Amino acid sequence: MALIRLSDERGVPGDFVTELSPFPTRDVPLRRIPLSGGQLGLVVSTNVVALTVPDAATSAEMYVRTASVTFIRTSGLIPSATAGFQADATDIIVLRSRDECLEFKAIRVSADATLDAEYFGEAA
């Protein structure tokens, strides 16, 4: 069994890390800015579709405009009409990292669908 002990900025030992006293954390909000050049009218049909991700993109949101799609956002998987996460018309798909943007793939469920993608980067 390993024990982890917190120490302050001077290296003075403090409390042990336990289930009741976990590592301290804090949220650091990042400002994201919309990037120009989103993909509007991306047609999703019987072939798997990937995104064309701008170099500065760190996240994306996609609006499912016309019909249902199934999608994945992790490497090594291929969506099909019956396998993947389903998003229906008017749903918004959120991709929270560059990796998710690069690994995103979608295919239609039964009818051709249209997606509108907006990409975001981090404010300097």
Q: Label residue 26 by pLDDT band (50, 70, 90).
A: low
Give pTM, 2 decimals: 0.74
Q: What is the pLDDT of residues 74-122, one digit of tens each?
A: 888 899 999 999 999 999 999 999 999 999 999 999 999 999 999 999 8
Judge whether 114 and 66 are in contact, CB under 8 Å: yes
Tell me the pLDDT of the chain averaged across its residues: 87
> What are the extents of the domains in the chain?
28-122
Kindly report the CATH number that applies to the domain delimited by 28-122: 2.60.120.10
What does DSSP assign to residue 83?
Answer: B
Provide mean pLDDT across the span 57-82: 94
Long-range contacts of 25-33 (CB under 8 A, 24+ apart): 30/122, 30/123, 31/122, 31/123, 32/58, 32/59, 32/120, 32/121, 32/122, 32/123, 33/120, 33/121, 33/122, 33/123
Query: For residues 8 and 79, what is the distance between their CA atoms, to the nearest angstrom?
Result: 48
Query: For residues 18 and 123, what is the distance between their CA atoms, to the nearest angstrom?
Result: 36
Query: How many other β-carbons are positioned within 10 Å of the β-carbon of residue 38?
Result: 17
3-state secondary structure of 3: coil
Residue 59, pLDDT > 90, answer yes
